[in-house]
Amino acid sequence: MIRFAHDQGLPIIMDCKINDIGSTNRAIAEYYYKADFDAVTANPFVGWDEGLQPVFEVARQMDKGIILLVYMSHKGAEEGYGQTVLDSKTKKQVFQYHVFAEKALAWNADGAVVGATYPDKIREMRAILGNDVPIYSPGVGVQGGDVDLAMRAGARYLIVGRTVMLAADPVEALKSIKKVAKQYLEE
């Protein structure tokens, strides 16, 4: 399946949400990169030192990518990603997802996940991330995310697995999504 996708010019992302201690995170990343995945997802909650730093090191050595979770697409995302936390630098209260977006910038992540189900959050994160860290938006279709709203808000990539796979006509579903998304990528 990976070879087929690569033959079609498609990158393959392992949505494994790496979220452990550094040595375990390194092993997870190495395994998936050696299996020919182009990128992995990781949770910035574990921090840098002895957390995600080893993943970034392996990714850079193997010329692979890391996409950080900034705000997920499910209904309960607000409980964790939307909580208010104390920013360690400014000592002000900020949303957790703002901190995660800043980490994506500081750590030079290759992307940030922000759910298509939350176009307002995509817009907020686009203001922080600019063009430096592209936004990947899951939750299109099956979870209620709208292609047009997500792309208009600033998503650069859409994660559409279940929407395509569960469609009566997967090829038509993909064509429909692509038609809407493409107009934003050409601007």
Q: How far is residue 90's CA from residue 93's CA, in Å, rounded to a whole number?
A: 9
Nearest to 115 by CA among 105, 100, 103, 102: 100
Active site residue 175: no
Q: How far is residue 66's CA from residue 182's CA, in Å, rounded to a whole number?
A: 24
Catalytic member of 17, 64, 103, 178: 17
H or E element in which residue 25 lies: helix 22-34
Q: Which two tokens stand for residue 90?
A: 């400014």
Q: Which two tokens stand for residue 165?
A: 């796979």
Which residues does the annotation mark as catalytic? Answer: 17
